[in-house]
Amino acid sequence: MKTFQVRTKSRSELVDITGEVARIVTEAGVSEGVATIYIPHTTAGVTINENADPDVKRDIIAFMEKLVPREWGFRHIEGNSDAHIKASMMGFSTQIPVTGGRLALGTWQGIYFAEFDGPRSRKCHVSIISLR
């Protein structure tokens, strides 16, 4: 397993981590397998989505903010219940096939670290399982 840091700049943002995950896959030297990306935080997650148009990231964050507003009357004393809910909705892990030594992402797909309680310095774990 390899771990890298993600530094976020806003309370809510999607950070493209595709390059770092791809670098880890290349360094692992695995030809065929599976990459698992895991976020060990309760107010951040991971997702795969379009990486061509930056408006997609903005739309996702804007919709999540509207769907789960920060000021809703939550009871959690830290005041970040919305971040916990958004992260749970996004998910804390994803798996991507590795084929020919590369991530088998679609043409327009990227891997995004989803921050909902930033800015912070976060961790991202990547595990590669070889199938050969």
Look at the block and give the residue holding tokens 């964050």. 61
Q: What is the pLDDT of residues 57-100, one digit of tens each?
A: 999 999 999 999 877 777 776 778 999 999 999 999 999 999 99
pTM score, whole prediction = 0.94
The CA distance from 108 to 50, in Å, is: 5
Q: How many CB atoms lie within 10 A of CB 49?
A: 16
Residue 71 structural domain: 2-130
Mean pLDDT score, 40-51: 97
Amino acid 98: pLDDT: 98
Q: For 70, what's the count of Cα atoms within 13 Å in the CB-facing half-sphere?
A: 10
Q: Which one-letter amino acid corresponds to residue 65?
A: E
CATH number where 20 lies: 2.60.120.460
The pLDDT value given to residue 25: 98
Q: How many domains does the chain have?
A: 1
What amino acid is encoded at 41 in this protein?
H
| pLDDT for the residue 87 | 97
Percent of the chain with pLDDT over 90: 90
